[in-house]
Structure formats: C-alpha cells, structure tokens
Structure 1
Amino acid sequence: MQENLKIHFIPPVPKREKRVGIYCRVSTNSAEQIQSLTAQVSHLTRLTAAMPQWVLADVYMDIATSKTGSSRKEFNRLLEDCNSRKIEIVITKNISRFGRDTVEILDVLKQLRTLGVRVIFEQEELDTANTDSDLMISIIESLAQAENESRSDNIRWGIKQRAASGISKLYDRKCYGYKHDKDGKLVIDEQKAENVKLIFDLYLRGQSIIGIIKELEKRRIFSPTGKEKWCKRTIDVMLSNEKYAGDVRLLKSGKSEVQYLSSDNNPAIISKEVFEAVQVEKKRRSNMVKDENGWQRKNEKYSSKKKIKSK
C-alpha cells in the first residue's frame, strides 16, 4: 500500500426534490410591462436553480389586458397544481404581484398553508415556512397599506406635475356649452352656450336654482345628459365653473394645498365680471356664515320670492 495515498470524500449531490412554481404578474401588456415580466421570470428562475434541493416545476404568468381585465387564469392554475401536490414551493417577486388585495392574499396563504405549500415573497424576504401566521398577517396588511398610500401619492404627484407644466388633459376637459375641435381643444357650442348664458342671467336676476330648473323645463331645454329634468347639483356646479369665463383652476378641492390657474385657457361664454358677480351672489345666498365660533347656519334661507318682491 502506498504511503502517500490520500482518499478524498466526495459528498453526494443532493437530490432535487422540492417542486417549485414561479408566479409572475404584470398589470398591462405594454412593451415595458412585458420586459418587466421577462425580468421577473429570469431572476426567479436563477434563484430557483441556485437552491440545491429545488427543481423548477412550472412558471405561471398573468398579463392583464383590456379584454381580460383582472382575470388571472394562471394564478388559478397555480392554485389547482398546489391542490394536486404538483407544487410544494411558490416563489413570487413581491406581495403586490401575488394578490389583488389584502383579503385575497391572506385567504390564499391560509389555503396554501393548510396544503403545506411554502410561499416566498422574494423582494420582502418573507417566507411562510419561517414566519408565524399572525406576524405574516400583520406584515402583509402593513405592506399593502403602505403600497396603496405610495400608489395614491404617486397618482397625486403625477396630476400636480402635469397641472404645473400645463400639459394636463384636465385643462381641456369638456363641459356643457363646449365641444372639442379636431385637435382636442375646447371651442364653444353656440346652441348650448346660449343656455349657459341664460342660467347665469336668471341667477343674477334673483331666481333660485329650483326656479332656474323650472324655467329650463318650461323652455324644453334638456340637461347635459339629455334629460328633461335638471339636477340642482348640475346648476350649482355650472354657476361655480371658471371655465365659462375662460379660466381653468385645477386641484381646487379643500384637500389640495396647491392650485393651478390657467387664465384665458379657452373661449369664454360669459364675462369675468358676470362670473364674479354670481360668486358674490352665491355667497350672499348661502345659508352658512362664518363667525368667531366657526361656520354657523343662518336663521333664514334665501327666497327668490322675497328677492323679487324687494325689487
């Protein structure tokens, strides 16, 4: 026997026995989203291959389109394969890709836990095999809430940026009395514009909103939706719409700290003087007044009959 003989132990290659299913989803079929889908699959495939005891069993991909809407056939196929014990581990990019809302995610995780299927959220580094049920629920709920808030913030930020740069489509949003030309710009609809002028004129002459509605019905003037009956809200909004005086004010709700005014944005149906006079009259007629104690309701409501008698 040779004195320098050395024997090296070669460990056996572990058998790949855990069947893995990769689930990926994108919200549209745009080129950018399809590229994102490809990147998701490629990354998770490499991650699966790097685990000695994992074997890739199948890849499930859902692409939402205008035709299919929120249909998730591949997600349902994944759940069927889990029920059939074809899949033992599910790996996905993040929580938002896995479910449409918190309730659905928690319901599916409960089903898969009962089946003994392990779910891994790669981005959040969450693994149902290592996480307590109550903790998992708490984490998913807080992450979902944070994501929804982030999405809402992004939407609001986008609206503000487009408004600030003057490229928001809201500047040319059509309202009663206007139509779009071939370039999508606002132009006056002459016939309906006469009705707008009539509404402002009747209001300044002392008519209440109910009185204006009766006059419109008497003249057989249909509402913006083509109905014989006008809504009080429709008239009230029209009387406050700066667009009729040629201006557009965006983000003017009380929730927004910033407002954007586009002066002479479109052709005016009424003069700025008439519009301002109506705003003063609306404030005078309001049954709410503000004093040192805040907003208070007036003891007496506005009456067009009293207005007419006083003249």
Structure 2
Amino acid sequence: MRLSKDDGTGESASINTQRSMLRSYADRNGFFIYGEYADDGYSGTTYDRPAWKRLLADIEAEKVNLVITRDLSRLGRDYILTGQYTEIYFPAKGVRYIAVNDGYDSNNRGNDLAPFQNIVNEMYARDTSKKIRSALRTKMEDGAYIGNYAPYGYRKDPGDKNHLLIDPLTAPVVRDIFERASRGEPPLKIAKLLNERCIKTPASYRRFKRQEVDLETIGGEKGWTSSIICKILSNRVYTGDMVQGKTTKLSFKSQMTLRIPKEEWIVVENKHNAIVSRDLFEQAGRRSVPRKRSKSAQFTNAFSGLVYCGDCKRVMTTTGGSHTEDRKLVCSGYKQFGRAACTNHYMNYDLLCQIVSQELETFISLSEEERKEVAGQLEFYGRNRGNSEEKRAAASLKKRERQIERIIGKLYEDRVNKVVEEERFCKLLTSYEQELKVIGAEVDAMKEITASVGKNVEEPVDTVDRLINELKEKKVPASDLLHQFIDRIEIFQSRKDPDQKDNQIITVRIFYRSKSPDSKKA
C-alpha cells in the first residue's frame, strides 16, 4: 500500500481503503497474508521508501512469494524501475505479482499492456509535478512564504501559514547579530559569544518549539558556527523582503538540488515586518566577513570594512608583506579590473594608522561632561533598541494562558453536567494542557533569551575610556573600537603638491558616527 500527498487524501485512495480491498481479495482467493507493507506519505517516483525496503528484505529472505497492490501505480510511478521489478526482479526471485484494479497477474501471459500502463502512471506523476511547481511559483511571485519552517527570527502566522510574523523570542538575537556585525565583529567571534550565552541554534530552537527531543542529535550538535552567522547576515528576509526560488530540483524523479543564479531569484519587497533596517543589513554585510586563519602571517587589518576608495567607492584592501610597514591599502576595483574600474592609488597602512590615531586623540582632551555626551551618542548606535515588542508578546502569552485556564474550568463543568461526552472531554483537555505546556516553555525561553542578549554589552562610557587608554599607550585602536567611533574612511587619488612638486598630496576623509566634525582632511 502506498499514498503520497499528490494522490490526495480521499477515501478512495486512503491506506485503509487499500488495506480493506487487498485483504478482501486475499481472502476470496485463499492467499495467506504474511504481512502488510504501507508507505503512507511517500511519492511513487522514488523507491527509497521504508516499507518497500522491508518488503525487499523479506523477499530476499524467502518469506514472501506473492505481492499484491491495488494497481500498478501503488508499486511506483517510475516506469523504468517499475518495469525492472515486474519484468526482471520478481520473476528472478519467484515472486508472483498482482495489481488488482489493472487486472495484472504475472502468472498470466496476457499482460502486454502493463508497460504502457507504467508509462501512463509516470506521465501522471510528471504532470502533477508540473502543476505543483507552477502553483508554488505563483505563490512565490505573490510573496507568499512556501517554506516548511519559518526563518530563524520569524514564526508562521497562525491565520495564514504563507505569512511571516516576528518571533519575539529569537528576533532580539537576530538584531544583536546584525548590530555586532555592523561594528566589524567577525562571524566566528559572534558565534562564540552566542555559544557562551547558551543561546539555542536555529535547528535546536526549532526542535524545542516542536518538542522534538533527540538526545543523540543534541549530543552531537556543534552549536553556533560562523557559517550559520554568515547565512543569517546574507538573508534579505530580515529586511522585510521575501526572497525565494534560490534552488530547484533536477527533475521530479531526482532529489538532486541545483542552485539558481541570483539574478533569477524571486524577490518581493516589503511582504512582512522587518527585524533590521536596510542600512543595518548593508553595513553588517560589508563589515563582517569570515576571516581565514593564516599560518604564515599574524597581521590583522584594523580597518577591515571601514576604508573605501574615494573615487570609485569600492572597499580598499591590504596588500604587501606580513609586517605593517610593508602593508598598503589599495583600491579593490583597480586590483581586480585594472584601469577600466579605477586608478592605481594606494596609501601606506602605517601612515593611515598615524592619521587616525592623531584624529582620535582629541578625545583625550575631552572634559568629563563631553565624554559622557560622546558616550550618549554612541549609545544610540549600540543600545538603541526597545523591548516593547517582547513585552507585548509576553503579555499575549499570559493572556492566552489565563483564557485556557478558564476554558479548562468550564470544560470540567460541562463534563459534570454531561454537556460534553467523556471521550470528547479527554481529547479537549489533553489539547489545552499541551498548549499550556508550550506557552510555559515559550515564556521561559523568552526570559532566557532576553536576559542573555543583554549580557556582556560594553557601556558607552567604558568604550570611550578604553579608546583613550589605547591611544595613550600608542596603540592602534582595535577594530571593534574603530567601528564604534568611525562610520567609514575615504581615500582619494593622490595629486602633486603645487608648492613642492616632488611631493604628493593624498586626501583622507574620516566620517564619524558621533557629532565630531563630519569630515577631516590630512
């Protein structure tokens, strides 16, 4: 017996109907029933089905010498493999095969139409596959979400499974990831921090919500990794856009997945509430990149994701030896495409370090009041997110909890008054108690995640003090510090000094986050 989602769930095709028909047929013909094999929810285009594998194992063990199905399509809809089983495998193993509705019996020689019936069955599967793909594409073009699970940070709308709602439990984690990435923190560092806070990964959180506990899987989990962080940072769904159609199956008979070119993805903008702004999404994407370890070089570019070519606006990357005195910042456009993209201009890495340090040293002379003002401005970028959404979600869960408790109380009264039958009462009570458990788990998870997101956030005043200390020690400020004070740095093509023709003038513009001067030139 076999039934796939594509075959429908009507009574004429159900597993129970097939079972009744086949048992009745076996009884009428005096066949002893050794066992039943039912693949419920499996497509006939594949023979990778648990019950089918069990049947083959019993045939190999010589426990079965007769196989009966309702029709040939229940065996499968791949006409090549179905023909191999009916024409080669079954006869070789001495197994008789009967398809009741198709009038097929391998003991009879008048089965010439069976191969054609197998082709028709496959054509049906092919046609169904086309219709399903067309329907799914129409949904994607309308911006309807067709995935099995909502992306981490979202949940499916109970009233419309194709619409996404912000998940108050995980959305704060997503925001925290983007904000840290926008400050230049590498994915590996963010992943390590989330693991230290014991925040559930997207996969473990999904199992937690569905209450699927697999101790072996949990024991083998690696936790957060840089690849998970990068996947989140590159997903436009968090800006409110619906991006789908990234992959496709090779064919309806193959499970092989092919990647679709980015320009062919189906993108529908502003289909749901955004977790992060588009500006934050772009900043995080360009400033937080996975960094590979280098055995030969210990050099770390403190300006990674900060320095841009003033002429073509592309990012500038470092080149040269392992020592900073040999390092230069060059335009990536010229580096990759030559003069067709930009000009050959560069800047010495050490020189830029000196310029930036000199500019930032102005903070050393700030009064206590001025330092607090700068810290307050930094707080707007680092800690400016409210928790009103989380509070509303918690209040909603508590409200639903009270509603269920009242419903359960009324349910017991209806049971006593015999308004509700015992069987119905037990089913309803079990359902409501299960929902209460889920609500309790969600409330606990919300407390855990909200508390953990707020940990280890450096105070703005401490950030200013840390910068001042590093400058006093004649150190180049760390990358995370630079990203908190500086939005970007632009370096322009050098030009000759009109007063001293042997010298070159390079224009450097520093754009600050706080209310320091908007630009500086050196």
Q: TM-score, normalised by structure 2?
A: 0.34
Conserved? CA contact 1:90–1:120, under 8 Å: yes
Task: Name the structure 2 match of 1:239.
Answer: 233
**Pairwise CA distance, 1:34:** 3.6
1:198 aligned partner, one-letter code: D
Task: Name the structure 2 match of 1:276.
Answer: 282
Aligned residue pair count:
244
**Pairwise CA distance, 1:271:** 0.5
Q: Note the residue ranges of structure 2 that are not aligned, 5 or more in a row.
A: 19-27, 42-48, 206-220, 248-257, 305-476, 483-522
**Pairwise CA distance, 1:275:** 1.2
Q: Return closer, same or farther for 1:217/1:91 CA change in 2, 3 Å cut-off.
A: closer
Conserved? CA contact 1:179–1:188, under 8 Å: yes
Task: Name the structure 1 match of 2:170.
Answer: 192
Among the aligned pairs, what percent are the same residue? 20
Between the aligned partners of 1:91 and 1:180, the Cα distance in structure 2 is: 39
Alignment of 1:67-78 (within 5 A): 71=51
Between the aligned partners of 1:222 and 1:28, the Cα distance in structure 2 is: 32
1:163 aligned partner, one-letter code: M
Conserved? CA contact 2:241–2:270, under 8 Å: yes
Alignment of 1:28-47 (within 5 A): 33-35=10-12
Task: Name the structure 1 match of 2:134.
Answer: 157
**Pairwise CA distance, 1:231:** 2.2
User: SS state of the match for residue 165, structure 2?
Assistant: strand
- Output one character per residue of 1:228-265: Cα deviation in whole Å (capped at 9) or x when no partner: 93122221111011121111111124633643222111
**Pairwise CA distance, 1:176:** 2.5
Alignment of 1:1-311 (within 5 A): 26-27=3-4, 33-35=10-12, 57=29, 65=40, 71=51, 83=65, 93-94=71-72, 96-99=73-76, 102=81, 106=85, 109-112=88-91, 115=94, 117=96, 153=130, 155-170=132-147, 173-180=149-156, 182-184=158-160, 185-190=163-168, 192-224=170-202, 225=204, 229-253=223-247, 255-256=259-260, 258-281=264-287, 307=304, 309=478, 311=482
- Output one character per residue of 1:61-97: Cα deviation in whole Å (capped at 9) or x when no partner: 987547xx9657xx99xx99994xxx8x989743x42
User: SS state of the match for residue 179, structure 1?
Assistant: strand
- Output one character per residue of 1:261-287: Cα deviation in whole Å (capped at 9) or x when no partner: 2211111111112212333446x7688
User: SS state of the match for residue 243, structure 2?
Assistant: strand
Between the aligned partners of 1:152 and 1:197, the Cα distance in structure 2 is: 39
Conserved? CA contact 2:201–2:223, under 8 Å: yes
Between the aligned partners of 1:179 and 1:211, the Cα distance in structure 2 is: 27
User: SS state of the match for residue 35, structure 1?
Assistant: coil
Between the aligned partners of 1:197 and 1:29, the Cα distance in structure 2 is: 39
Task: Name the structure 1 match of 2:438.
Answer: none
Q: Return closer, same or farther for 1:206/1:27 CA change in 2, 3 Å cut-off.
A: closer
User: SS state of the match for residue 261, structure 1?
Assistant: strand
Between the aligned partners of 1:181 and 1:139, the Cα distance in structure 2 is: 46
- Output one character per residue of 1:27-76: Cα deviation in whole Å (capped at 9) or x when no partner: 47987644358xxx9xxxxxxxxxxxxxx94899987547xx9657xx99
Between the aligned partners of 2:106 and 2:224, the Cα distance in structure 1 is: 58
User: SS state of the match for residue 259, structure 2?
Assistant: coil
Q: Return closer, same or farther for 1:302/1:64 CA change in 2, 3 Å cut-off.
A: farther
Q: Return closer, same or farther for 1:179/1:300 CA change in 2, 3 Å cut-off.
A: farther
Between the aligned partners of 2:145 and 2:232, the Cα distance in structure 1 is: 21
Alignment RMSD (CA, Å): 5.6
Conserved? CA contact 2:186–2:291, under 8 Å: no
- Output one character per residue of 1:164-212: Cα deviation in whole Å (capped at 9) or x when no partner: 3444443x95233233454255333345323222211211211111111
2:283 aligned partner, one-letter code: A
**Pairwise CA distance, 1:141:** 11
Between the aligned partners of 2:7 and 2:478, the Cα distance in structure 1 is: 65
1:261 aligned partner, one-letter code: V
Q: TM-score, normalised by structure 1?
A: 0.52
